Structure 1
Amino acid sequence: MSEQIDPPAQEGGDRFWRFGPIFAAAWLIYLAYPIGEVLAKPSWFARVAGLTLVIGFALLFLGTFWAFRRGHRHDRPMSSALAWGSLTAMLAITALLSLMLGTTAFGLTIYIAVIAVMILPSVQSVTLVAAMLASVELLPRFVPDWEPDSFFGFQLIVSALAAWGITQIFRRNHELAEARQQLADLAVVAERERMGRDVHDILGHSLTVITVKAELAGRLIDLDPARAAVEIAQVEALAREALGDVRSTVSGARRVDIAVELGNARSALDAAGIGADLPADADDVPLRNRELFGWALREGVTNVIRHSGAQRCFVALDPTSIVVSDDGRGMATDAYSGGNGLRGLGERVKAANGTLVLGCGESGGFRVEVMSQ
């Protein structure tokens, strides 16, 4: 059994990463400004060199973004060496184009700021963006023929903040998707534990009764063949019933009810030769407690038959509690609580916000009490 995140929910967090390269390539249209300046150069060598640098910058930007995207989707973050190598190369190209074009090349710092925020740790990216901001604001004031323009600094800050915000949003969405998958896995584990507990309790009770009736039939086969045949037929019916119960439990269709379990308990105790002091009916038990009390009765009667050596079993039932006790030899509470049956009953009671009390009964045997609201 497995559960996967619904495709639409998962796509919502991954859409950016799937179409990210197209989104990144679309923004390269702003490289038209430095390209226009390059093509306006009178020297063919300057034009070729400038175009080569701009194209190299665009390929570096897209390649770095692609590497970051691929690492994100496969949970393999980009290495620090690769990140800084790409950024250093883009910074070098920007510096060379600045020598050729002046402040027009400062527009490339916006691309560097965006990619730095995505691929670098916060402290490193903030430091790099601050250094570029200082450069675009201060250098034009000291380099001849370069005119200061605060628009580049403003764009740099806005672009870095936008990239940081978008990155955080989609990282949180990715973490949310992972958390949902973990919850789904935990739900699968919980369902397996529930199924195992139910199958154990069902087979424990059914096989105990089958064993008792088979032993009785074995003793009667020479003394009363007709009665032995009846017991054997009941063993066959019980085996079929147990198989059906297991199938119903696996499919999630089976529900235990206290009224049904009272009849089963009377039959099981009678087959084991144990007197049964049981309520006549369970009409007063509210619907919210009927299944829990049914499991408690099933487990309590199974323990009486298997462990107590009792002559009589007592069941007291009211709307908010059930008590199963016997007059047998009793057993240490630790020994009982160490069994899978009572451990499973304890889990059911806890899930229903009830209380399970184990101890000695008034007749000297063992006592199981379950209280619920």
Structure 2
Amino acid sequence: MTSVNPMSGPVLQQEQPLGRRGPWFAAIWLFFLLDPFLVGWHHRGTVAGVLGMLLTVAFGATYMWLWLQLRADRARLRDEPPVASSLLWLAGLVTLGLLMVVALGQVGTTAAVYVAVATMMLFPFVVGAAIVVGIAALVVVTGELVPGWDRSIGLAFSVCAASLAIFGIRSMLRRNIDLIRAHEENAELLVENERTRFARDLHDILGHSLTVITVKAELAGRLMDADPARAKAEIADLERLSRDALADVRRAVEGYRDLTLPGELARARAALEAAEIQAVLPNTTEEVPTDLRELFAWTVREGVTNVIRHSHARTCRVVISPTGVEVTDDGDGAAGETTGSGLRGLRERAAAAGATVVTRSLSPGFSLSVVRA
């Protein structure tokens, strides 16, 4: 939503009641057209007086119509209308203003201020400034040369001052529009990046699981008649794998509030690549028992985080088995020198699952593993 400066400059801001009443505040500045209208009213018994009143009303209505159109353009983040449209608006206002002068005399030159303001709203600064200077000069010259007219220095000053004020407002609007566009582009990029990341992680989570499930389903089908007992075991394993895959997907869809082993491996690969560390990671996690998957995910997160932060390694390797997970690197051993709460929390989780955390210094590198006997 946009609100409006009373000098007819639209200002972008948040939706609020004042913004909806903006046209009324802009209309207040039509007060200065009251002088030519009253002059026409004073001569209402003449054709010139009646035409003067009608032209003044038409000029004010056209000016407000232009203001509302520009206000709508600002709401659509359009800074400048098309050149042809701008020329038509300017021509219309100039024509009505000149007719006001013809009908009412010098008081009709009040329209010059509004024409100058409209010019600064419609055209780029260089073009608008040139037209405004021409309008101010014309006002001064006609005040000096037309018999019976007074000096118009004050009106010329008003033309320049109002135009300068509108230029400042328009510059602010342009910056606001640029900021809004940049914000929208950043938001779109963030959404696109999140979609890409989620698609990649979902592929990593489901790809290998579905492959193993397919192979085991085919094997169970072939064993159904030849070896019913083994086929039954394969079907039971299929049920476990499908439940684990479903749990991983649910956690991923919930926004990664819980850790999943496939998800942590996917994030570990991306983090290691960003740190320019070669990642050697397992392609499957199906053999890990359900009750150890979250613990192993915490181990991968802690181990890879320490490798990236402290090890100065070139390679990081993760090995997973049904009873354990190990994260090793070929760095300077600094990954084992951390004293934070990460390893302490990992030991607590491992103890709760009946597992043990083992750390070893290598030549070169360091090893972090969690094993359940």
Task: Tell me if both proteins adopt one fold, taking TM over 0.5 as the criterion.
Answer: yes
SS of residue in 1 equivalent to 2:24: helix
In structure 2, C-alpha distance between the alignment counterparts of 1:167 and 1:36, rounded to whole Å: 32
Of 131, 151, 154, which residue of structure 2 is paired with 1:151? Answer: 154
Question: Is 1:256 matched up with 2:271?
Answer: no
Partner of 2:328 in structure 1?
318
Partner of 1:183 in structure 2?
186
Of 243, 246, 271, which residue of structure 2 is paired with 1:243? Answer: 246
Q: Is the 8 A contact 1:256 1:291 kept in 2?
A: no
Q: Is the 8 A contact 1:118 1:164 kept in 2?
A: yes
Structure having greater relative contact order (Cα 8 Å, sep ≥ 6) = 1
One-letter code aligned to 2:172: I
Partner of 1:30 in structure 2?
32
Deviation, structure 1 residue 317: 2.6
Deviation, structure 1 residue 184: 2.1
Q: Is the 8 A contact 2:251 2:260 kept in 1?
A: no
Listed as ranges, the gaps of 5+ residues in structure 1 are: 271-280, 303-314, 322-373
Deviation, structure 1 residue 128: 1.4
Question: Is 1:87 matched up with 2:90?
Answer: yes
The percent of aligned pairs where both chains have the same amino acid is 34
Change (3 A) 1:18 1:168: farther
SS of residue in 2 equivalent to 1:318: strand
Deviation, structure 1 residue 49: 2.0
In structure 1, C-alpha distance between the alignment counterparts of 2:163 and 2:303, rounded to whole Å: 57
In structure 1, C-alpha distance between the alignment counterparts of 2:47 and 2:225, rounded to whole Å: 115
Partner of 1:268 in structure 2?
287
User: What is the root-mean-square deviation of aligned Cα atoms in Å?
Assistant: 4.4
Greater alpha carbon shift after TM alignment, 234-243 vs 212-221: 212-221
Q: Is the 8 A contact 1:209 1:268 kept in 2?
A: no
Greater alpha carbon shift after TM alignment, 147-156 vs 178-187: 178-187
Cα deviation code 1:270-307 (max 9, x no counterpart)? 9xxxxxxxxxx8998773736999xx978x879xxxxx
Change (3 A) 1:130 1:228: same
SS of residue in 1 equivalent to 2:327: strand
One-letter code aligned to 2:121: M
Deviation, structure 1 residue 111: 0.8
For residues 1-373 of structure 1, what are the structure 2 equivalents within 5 Å?
Answer: 12=13, 19-41=21-43, 43-74=45-76, 78-211=81-214, 213-214=216-217, 225-253=228-256, 254-257=258-261, 268=287, 287=302, 289=304, 317-318=327-328
One-letter code aligned to 2:33: L
In structure 1, C-alpha distance between the alignment counterparts of 2:112 and 2:182, rounded to whole Å: 36
In structure 2, C-alpha distance between the alignment counterparts of 1:41 and 1:290, rounded to whole Å: 87
One-letter code aligned to 2:32: Y
Change (3 A) 1:291 1:228: farther
Listed as ranges, the gaps of 5+ residues in structure 2 are: 2-10, 266-280, 290-295, 309-315, 332-373
In structure 2, C-alpha distance between the alignment counterparts of 1:212 and 1:164, rounded to whole Å: 71
One-letter code aligned to 1:268: E
In structure 2, C-alpha distance between the alignment counterparts of 1:119 and 1:319, rounded to whole Å: 64
SS of residue in 2 equivalent to 1:164: helix
Q: Is the 8 A contact 1:14 1:174 kept in 2?
A: no
Q: Is the 8 A contact 2:101 2:108 kept in 1?
A: yes
Q: TM-score, normalised by structure 1?
A: 0.63
Deviation, structure 1 residue 200: 1.0
Change (3 A) 1:284 1:41: closer
One-letter code aligned to 2:26: A
In structure 1, C-alpha distance between the alignment counterparts of 2:303 and 2:35, rounded to whole Å: 73
Partner of 1:361 in structure 2?
none
One-letter code aligned to 2:328: D
Cα deviation code 1:308-331 (max 9, x no counterpart)? xxxxxxx9633787xxxxxxxxxx
One-letter code aligned to 1:28: L
Q: Is the 8 A contact 1:34 1:105 kept in 2?
A: yes
In structure 2, C-alpha distance between the alignment counterparts of 1:136 and 1:255, rounded to whole Å: 75
In structure 1, C-alpha distance between the alignment counterparts of 2:56 and 2:253, rounded to whole Å: 65
Q: Is the 8 A contact 1:17 1:69 kept in 2?
A: no
In structure 1, C-alpha distance between the alignment counterparts of 2:25 and 2:226, rounded to whole Å: 89
In structure 2, C-alpha distance between the alignment counterparts of 1:265 and 1:54, rounded to whole Å: 81
One-letter code aligned to 1:68: L
Q: TM-score, normalised by structure 2?
A: 0.63
Q: Is the 8 A contact 1:117 1:125 kept in 2?
A: yes
